[in-house]
A and B are shown apart, each in its own frame.
Chain A
Amino acid sequence: MINAVLVFNNAGQPRLTKFYTQLETSVQQRLISEIFNLVSHRPSGSCNFLPLPPLLASSSTSTVPSSEHNDVPSLVTYRHYATLYFIIISTSTESPLALIDLIQVYVEALDRLFENVCELDLIFNFETLHAALAEMVVGGVVVETQLDKVVEGVKSQGRVAKRPVNEGRGGGLGMGMGMGMGGNFGWTGR
């Protein structure tokens, strides 16, 4: 199963964190920074699989030989799009190449939802990000891989997702989001 889906930018700022097992917040942060350390040093031509970060590695070395231990995260897959890293941590029951495709589908779905997605979209609509992810992965299990259905599923949840096209950021947002966005402006400076 998928243990976590993470999105962060080139500076290591998280844009989306979704853990399918309950983790303490500080542990989450440590994991994110460890993975970021790993991922940010990779040359561009290298493969999309990371060695396990130290936090996970202690358990991994043991689990490699025995197939019984499918429960332990053993695979860190990432993809790099422009300013963003998409990371999936999963157990050995997922196929590595399929995960790469899954990230691709996710990004394409976001692209459709936001029409030419960029990092700002994700900051201001991170709720939509979660919604799109929820359409694809539930509880760590992949439920949908078809782009159309994912997009359709998110859109059916309300108009929010459709609104914030690049120029419409200032106004005309869904009620919850309008406020949320205003608030978000304050934080992005960090």
Chain B
Amino acid sequence: MDLKATALLKLVYLEMFGHDMSWASFHVLEVMSSAKYLQKRVGYLGAVQSFRQDTEVLMLATNLLKKDLTSTSITTMSLPIITLPHVITPSLALSVLSDLLPRLTHSHPAIRKKTIVTLYRLALVYPETLRPAWPKIKERLMDEGEDPSVTAAIVNVVCELGWRRPQDFLPLAPRLFELLVDSGNNWMAIKLIKLFATLTPLEPRLVRKLLPPLTNIIKTTPAMSLLYECINGIIQGGILDSTDDSIGGEEIATLCVSKLRGMVMVEGDANLKYVALLAFNKIVLTHPYLVAQQEDVIMECIDSPDISIRLRALDLVVGMVNSDNLMSIVGRLMRQLKNSRSATAEELNHQPAPIEPTADSDDESPEVAIKTDKGAAEAPLLPDDYKIDVINKILDMCSSNNYGNLVDFDWYIDILIQLVRSAPIPNSSSLSDDSNMGRNETSNLDVSERIGDELRLVAVKVKALRLQATRAAESILISTYNDTSSQLTSGSGVLRAVAWMVGEYASSLASPDGTLTALLQLTKASTSAEGLNIYLQALPKILSLIAGDEHIAWTPERKTMVALLMARIIHALEPLAVHPDLEVQERAVEFSELLKLAAEAASGQETSRDGDQQDAPLLLTQAIPFLFAGQELNSVAAGAQKNVPIPQGLDLDQPINPNLNNLLRAVESASFDKPEQDEFEVYYHQQQPPIAISSNEPAVNRLGAREEPVHSYQQGSEESYLDPDIVARRRAERMERNKDDPFYIAPTEDRSGRSTPLHNILQSNNGPDLDIDSIPIMQLDLGKTSPLSQLSPKKISSHKPLQRIQVAADETLATSGTSTPRYDDSENSLDGPQRQKHKGKSLLQVDSSHIGAFSLEGDSSSGPLDYERQKREDAEMAKAMQEVERLRLEMQRANERIQAAQGVEGTVVKKKKKKAKPVGTEADSGEAVTVVKKKKKAKPAVMDEGEAASEPVEVVKPKKKKKKAKIDEGEQQSIVD
């Protein structure tokens, strides 16, 4: 046995290095049952480290655990107590509960405190535990003569339970308060404050009572941890918000902030800085101005060498930014980005190896594996994450509050250009852009894409700056082309936005030729379909600008120049006609055919000699520009025409329904429908080539005629009565949506902005404020946006499959409806973040629950092969039981809530206790099961909402019964009562 124990000890040691020892579980059990304490201890250690919920021998261990629990020796007794939390399952909890409960009154405090914690862990998997255990724990807590460390343990447990169901612990408040004031134990005080922070929202009167001692502690305590927790508790308990009626919340906030400032200022203690920043982050939500006063110290932290501190400071900075400090803060961050760039680039060159997280888990040389791992993963990961964070934060700051903090857009454009250069691309280039889409790379793309979006947004929204923005885009594009070693790879997200801009605002370009060359180069070099789609659209746009000027004479020079250009483009497009991506293929074919036609026309057209003036071929001067411009007389710039205000008498909203058919016909037959449609297609990066809609698919058109022309009609009206900036906003939204939903073309267009990605909601909602010169026009739309929003439900209801997205559309429409009339920026900007938060939460909720499930059940696959099936069954059963427990807990909670509302909680608990006791003590298994069953049946009856929940319970019941019976049979002899 000695040998076995030693071997087990070695095994446990090996397990620490990642070697599976689940096969040895039976041996663990053997050692556990040894009579010698030291061997026993080894056995229990093995159990703690290796047993999982699905470990089979757990069943066999139950008896042993129960036996050791009743041992006379304190040390032996504590072994099962400290082991139970690691191996507990509901069934195990049920059977050991009766042995564990008496330990609460054990004479030795060490046993008592450990038992309390173990009971808490029992309660987590088997909530019924609390019924018999809670009164006893409470008794311990109330007992003034109790050992202080036991009290502290209880407080810890109560604190853990506290946030789950705070209302149950309100009655304890007086005693807890007493402990807080009298105990003088800082550890406990910290926990108590945390607990109170969860209680105060439920009981506002507590605030009054708590404030004096808390402020007292804040002012006097020498312990930084306690000080911090006090401040934290005040913040988290919502005391700062709620004190407006009673004691000056401002005073406390000021006190807290000044103390926190003191903490940040403490030289050399990074921990205090960190936690103080954490606390600042929470205060800044309610008292941004107070925090903004501490700008100097916070900005120090932003340059701290410690990434953790930097990140916290960064979070904070976003909260406290205003128009005065924006430029200085962003400047500081930019400097940081610029300086850090070279350093990380060097680092990167050293460690280009990919990350292999599992490398170290299997073989005998953990160190080696870890070492290589460390180099590769760390260096690129952290700084890049940080940089991405910084860039995102800069963009957040600048675009926040409808660009309200931004005073100088020129400066912003410069910042954006700079950001494009310092965006951490190197990483993605080393990983190559489509083969391994690592976590890193996607986030990189996201950030550069975001910068591009931002630039585009500025160009679209701020007309005054469109020229500069386009020039900026151009310079980015050309520099990418010129500098082949540049960090920007052709798949980089920013280029998409940039390519769109140079195409759409081609008239603002400084050198269209250079841009075209760069774009061609890009098109040849890039492989990713998303990028190509956009480049392909931009190419003819620029070409039409260069070649399509009908006022310049058709000279031989021009002819050759144009022919050359078109040949180059065709040359670039032709290989793409066999591109694997259908979209790219289609566009390439469309455009290259079109250009071939144009080239033919151009070569056929005679050039003008000295005497007779020859025009350029119409196809070049008329048709191609028409594709993108729509209105020939206006500039190519998309926003130009929409500026023309509609005469008041012309109300495009009214006649929609009565005149529908006429209008449809009219629109369909009207020749300008084609180019207009095309323009929009181009504008929105529609994936289907523009021509297809009107000319290639007449049959489809006729079939879908009802819908499609309506939509184009709508669009026309919408665009003409809406303010340019709103149109722009809608466009941005649409663009975003179309990205998500590439296969939806025309029909989706009229339901604007349905699935705007979260970060864009904010941005796009900012629209109204942005266009400074359009403010007077706002008045005009007020009436008309609301009809639109009234209309929208009708439109929406016709399309069922897209329900999820439609919700978002309602929101957008609603906001535009409510916020435009009042032109209320604050409301608008408030709306955005809120929605964002809400959505984010739900997303994350799924995530976290998934993680939770993963960490609990992830071990189900870790068995030797022969047992696999059995194990799976076992796991299933365990899962089923978990489900039952969960449901039961839910029902129980609901039940208690109902009863608490009726104010009879005390008696109910007593009754339940009576019922629960038989479960634990009854020797006869059949009876126990029936009792449980009865209870279960009774509960759904009490509850209204239990109907749905009771179904799964019923299904699972047989399994559970079987299992319980099994266990009870096994345990019959050991149950003493």
Contact = CB atoms under 8 A, between A and B. Distances in A.
Interface string B850-865: 0110011011011000
A34 B357 contact: yes
A156 B270 contact: no
Contact of A12 (B366, B379, B847, B862): B366
Given A63-B848, A127-B45, A143-B113, A97 B153 contact: no
Contacts of A37: 373-374, 377-378, 381
A108 interface: no
A136 B156 CA distance: 12
A13 B367 contact: yes
Interface in B66-105: 74-75, 78, 81-82, 84-86
Nearest to B116: A143
B697 interface: no
A102 to B, nearest CB: 8
B374 A40 contact: yes
Interface in A53-104: 54, 58-59, 61-63, 65-72, 93, 95-98, 100-101
Given A22-B53, A62-B847, A131 B194 contact: no
Given A72-B848, A98-B187, A138-B85, A14 B118 contact: no
Interface in B242-297: 268, 270-275, 278
Given A30-B357, A63-B844, A141-B117, A190 B228 contact: no
Nearest to B53: A22
B704 interface: no
A146 interface: yes
Nearest to A149: B149
A36 B37 CA distance: 35
A95 B194 contact: yes
A106 to B, nearest CB: 14
Contacts of B881: none
Q: Which of A72, A95, A100, A187 has the most CB of B within 10 A?
A: A95
Interface in A124-167: 126-127, 130-131, 134-135, 138-146, 149, 153, 156-158, 160
Given A51-B307, A67-B163, A93-B194, A144 B367 contact: no
A25 B709 CA distance: 61
Nearest to A69: B848
Interface of A: 1, 11-18, 20-30, 33-34, 36-38, 40-43, 45-51, 54, 58-59, 61-63, 65-72, 93, 95-98, 100-101, 126-127, 130-131, 134-135, 138-146, 149, 153, 156-158, 160, 174-177, 179-180, 182-184, 187, 190
A54 B186 CA distance: 33
16 contacts: A12-B367, A14-B16, A22-B86, A37-B374, A49-B308, A59-B847, A59-B848, A59-B852, A93-B160, A96-B271, A98-B225, A139-B120, A141-B153, A158-B75, A182-B6, A183-B9
Contact of B110 (A14, A18, A95, A153): A153
Contacts of A49: 271, 274-275, 308
B593 interface: no
Nearest to A91: B160
A47 B274 contact: yes
Given A126-B13, A142-B187, A23 B194 contact: no
Contact of A176 (B2, B19, B186): B2
Contact of B13 (A96, A135, A139, A184): A184
Nearest to B9: A180
Contacts of B41: 127, 131, 157-158, 176
B271 A100 contact: yes
A44 to B, nearest CB: 10
Contacts of A29: 17-18, 360-361
Given A24-B862, A41-B379, 6 more contacts: A33-B370, A46-B309, A48-B271, A96-B275, A141-B121, A142-B187
B430 interface: no
A95 B228 contact: yes
A95 B374 CA distance: 29
Classify chain B: how many residues form its interface, as a range.
35 or more
A133 to B, nearest CB: 9
B392 to A, nearest CB: 12
A45 B35 CA distance: 50
Contacts, number: 290
Contacts of B583: none
Contacts of A21: 855-856
A58 B306 contact: no
A180 B3 CA distance: 9
B117 A93 contact: no
Contact of A184 (B10, B85, B273, B357): B10
B242 to A, nearest CB: 16
A15 B10 CA distance: 13
A11 B370 contact: yes
A93 B859 contact: no
B841 interface: yes
Contact of A70 (B117, B163, B190, B366): B163
B114 interface: yes
Q: Which 6 A-B pairs have the closest CB atoms?
A: A62-B844, A139-B85, A46-B306, A97-B225, A179-B6, A47-B270
B506 interface: no
Q: Which of A43, A97, A183 has the most CB of B within 10 A?
A: A97
Given A45-B270, A65-B841, A67-B163, A97 B275 contact: yes
B225 A22 contact: no
A33 B271 CA distance: 23
Nearest to B845: A62
Q: Which of A29, A43, A138 has the most CB of B within 10 A?
A: A138
B604 interface: no
B156 A143 contact: yes
Contact of A127 (B9, B75, B191, B852): B9
B20 interface: yes
Nearest to A48: B271
A98 to B, nearest CB: 5
Interface in B116-156: 117-118, 120-121, 149, 152-153, 156
A167 to B, nearest CB: 22
Nearest to A158: B38
B6 A93 contact: no
B152 A28 contact: no
B190 A157 contact: no
Q: Which of B5, B52, B82, B381 has the most CB of A within 10 A?
A: B82
Contacts of A1: 160
Q: Which of B113, B186, B370, B382 has the most CB of A within 10 A?
A: B370
Given A22-B52, A138-B81, A12 B118 contact: no
A144 B163 CA distance: 22
B367 A72 contact: no
B39 to A, nearest CB: 6
B884 interface: no
Contacts of B843: 62
A22 B186 CA distance: 31
A14 B17 contact: yes
B359 to A, nearest CB: 8
A27 B855 CA distance: 9
Nearest to A184: B13
A189 B371 CA distance: 16
A65 B837 contact: yes
B365 A190 contact: yes
A139 B18 contact: no
A160 B5 CA distance: 15
A145 B304 CA distance: 32
A98 B831 CA distance: 38
A23 B271 contact: no
Contacts of A183: 6-7, 9-10
Given A22-B53, A143-B156, A62 B3 contact: no
Contacts of B152: 142-143, 145
A156 B109 CA distance: 14
B374 A12 contact: yes
Given A72-B852, A180-B10, A58 B271 contact: no
Contacts of A139: 82, 84-86, 117-118, 120-121
